[in-house]
Amino acid sequence: MLLLRNALILDGTGSPPYRGSMLVSQGRIVSIGDLPIPSDADQLDLHGMALSPGFIDLHSHSDLKVLENRREKSDQGITTEVVGNCGFSPYPCGSHAALLADQNEGILNGPTSWPGAAAYLAQARRDSRLVHIESLVGHGALRTAISGPDASSPEPLHLDSLEAALDTALSEGAIGLSTGLMYAPGSQAPFAELEALCHIVARHNKLYTTHMRSYSWQLIEALEEQIELARRTGCRLQISHLQAVGRDNWPKQQHALALIEQAHAEGIDIAFDCYPYLAGSTVLTQLLPQATLKDGLPGLLTLLRDPTTRARLEQTLQHETAQRWDDIFISSLTTPANRSLIGQHLQTIAEARRCSPPAAVIDLLLEESGKVNIVAFNQSESNLHALLTHPLSSIITDGFYVAERPHPRLAGAFPTFLGEFVRRRNCLSLAAAIHKITAAPASRLGLKDRGNLTPGSIADLTIFDPATIGTTATFESPSLPPHGVHLVIKGQFLLPKSSSLLDNRGILPSGSPLAHARVTHRTTPETPGELHYER
């Protein structure tokens, strides 16, 4: 047993914090409050630091990286990640494993796929020691599994097969369905297809999350489509990374929030998530009409080499790109010759090449075989504040890995939220903020034993200092680790921020912000810095 005493307890409900202790045994919470000290328990004096449920990242793209036990998420205090977002999941692959892996490469940053949800979840939950994994099944993956290279065709798909594949994935443990309606192949899906699939999600009482068809010029129409799906099918609807993209579209966000509030008042089970940054991140091909990707990247490159098609696409980019060209910079590409472009804005690149920004976009896609990642500044400060503080919002990282310069949200989203927006800007109370990253997402996912501090719940816990939590990760240096998160407990595992936090006996040194913690033994050498607590 382990007694965590002298803590500032934030239970995840949004109730005010209080001083108390918590007793943990065999990976679960035994009791909480003003507790006596059991004679057979080891003790950890938290000296007034905050003790909360482990943070839950409702929207992540770490599907493959969790298998490598990368620490970007656990160092933030995250103990549960939801992968399979935006229509991308590494399953089911059907007989098209290589094709699915290729389609996922730009977002999932890896070449692996699995036959189904059961196989993926079994491996992820076996190999991921730092976070608990829940997975949505991606609509794009379903289309590819059924139709292979024809998945992006505007022709009707085999809907019965698509429905059966979704039903199987949900039965095997997928926590819901995600769509990526701005990405091929999901972008070709008609309303009727989405409606049929959402009926199945509703029957399973699971979650439907959506990267909508537009967050810019057609933001309102895209949101109305998703609300109508929920209205007709009764599915539980989660709008992914809500925002109004581009200065001309910023006024639309207030209307979008009003539509969500109205739907919620109607009784539709709707909520949304957002990340605490003005900029987002995606692939450069996202700027193009997704119909150009109906034959995959090889087909796209063929189109871009055709002078007539290229001229038409340059015009489309010039008139339909919502952001300014100096709002978008390159975060990753593949060829050594273009490495100097990482961190440069498209406007700057175009000026250096003495061409228009749309021409620079197409040239880069041709030079890099279509594999370019970008960071784009999308939002206004006032709009971001409205999203982060809205009662129906949860906070996410939306983080994904790239070869060169990832978005800093990958390593710093939750400390940024708690440090910059809660402590420094005082946008909302600490208790309300913790609710948005613990109990609120747990409720959306239907997780009963995570995201709260109640006896019997799994002891996924985050111990942090509200006065110092934050990050130094920036767009120029995005991988710098956060500070102020001192210890994460995942069931029976203690996960210090770094292995140097504990000495070779598994004891926190006297100079640590925490007092002495003792554990019985380290785990295997392959998991440095992890400590298995058994008593």
pLDDT at 192: 96
User: How high is the pLDDT of residue 496?
Assistant: 60
pLDDT tens for 273-318 read: 999 999 999 999 999 998 999 888 999 999 999 999 999 999 999 9
| Cβ(45)–Cβ(518) below 8 Å | no
Strand partners of residue 224: none
Q: Structural domain boundaries of the chain?
A: 2-52+448-532, 56-283+378-442, 292-374
Read out DSSP for 404-417? S---THHHHHHHHI
Residue 180 to residue 365: CA distance in whole angstroms: 21
Check pLDDT > 80 for residue 495: no
Q: Which residues contact 368 (CB under 8 A, 6 or more apart)?
A: 333, 334, 335, 338
Q: Give the pairing type, strands 2-9 and 18-25.
A: antiparallel
Tallying the residues shown for the chain, one arrives at 535
Contact call for residues 183 and 87 (beta carbons, < 8 A): yes
Backbone angles phi, psi at 239, to 5 degrees: -85, 120
Cα distance between residue 396 and residue 410, in whole Å: 10
Q: What is the pLDDT of residues 250-269, one digit of tens each?
A: 999 999 999 999 999 999 99
Residue 339 has pLDDT above 50, yes or no: yes
Three-class DSSP category at 365: helix
Which phi and psi angles does 113 have, rounded to 5°? -145, 165
Q: Which residue has the higher pLDDT, 67 or 530?
A: 67
Instruction: Kindly give the interhelix angle for 357-367 and 307-320, rounded to the nearest 10 degrees.
Output: 130
Mean pLDDT of the chain: 92
Furthest-apart CA atoms within the chain: distance in Å:
80
pLDDT level of residue 497 (50, 70, 90 thresholds): low
| pLDDT tens sequence across 425-470 | 999 999 999 999 999 999 999 999 999 999 999 999 999 999 999 9
Buried b / exposed e along 349-373 (16+ C-beta atoms within 10 A): bbeeeeeebbbbbbbbbeebebbbb
Averaged pLDDT for residues 326-350: 96
Which pLDDT score, from 0 to 100, does residue 442 have?
Answer: 98
Question: So what's the pLDDT on residue 505?
Answer: 37
| DSSP notation for 453-504 | --TTSB-EEEEE-TTT-EE---SSSTTPPEESEEEEEETTEEEESSGGGS-T
Type and span of the H or E element at 330? strand 328-332
For range 379-391, the mean pLDDT: 98
Beta-carbon contacts of residue 301 (< 8 Å; ≥ 6 apart): 365, 366, 369, 370
Q: Averaged over 383-394, what is the pLDDT?
A: 98
Mean pLDDT, rounded, for 157-162 = 91
The burial of 340, by beta-carbon neighbours within 10 Å (0-12 exposed, 13-18 middle, 19 or more buried), is given as: exposed
Q: Do 469 and 478 contact (CB within 8 A), yes or no?
A: no
Work out the pLDDT band at 226, boundaries 50, 70, 90: very high
pLDDT higher than 90, residue 193? yes
Write the secondary structure of 20-36 as one string of H (helix), E (strand) and C (coil).
Answer: EEEEEECCEEEEEECCC
CA distance 309 to 313: 6
Helix, strand, coil % (nearest 5) of the chain? 40, 20, 40
Average pLDDT on 77-85 reads 98
Q: Are 92 and 137 in contact (CB under 8 A)?
A: yes
Q: Where are the beta strands (DSSP E) in 115-204?
A: 132-138, 176-180
At residue 211, the 3 state secondary structure works out as strand
Report the pLDDT averaged over residues 171-184: 97
Other Cβ atoms closer than 10 A to 281: 27
Q: What are phi and psi of 519, to 5 degrees?
A: -130, 160
Measured between alpha carbons, how far apart are the two ends of the chain, in Å? 5
Annotate 377-389 with DSSP letters as a single string. Answer: E---HHHHHHHHH
CATH number given to 2-52+448-532: 2.30.40.10
For domain 56-283+378-442, give the CATH superfamily: Metal-dependent hydrolases (3.20.20.140)
Distance CA 246, CA 54 (A): 34
Q: Give the three-class secondary structure for 78.
A: strand
pTM for this predicted structure: 0.93
**Residue 476 half-sphere exposure, CB side, CA atoms within 13 Å?**
1
pLDDT value at residue 510: 38
Q: Is the pLDDT of residue 78 over 90?
A: yes
Q: 155 pLDDT band (50/70/90 cuts)?
A: confident
Cα angle 11, 494, 39; round to 5: 80
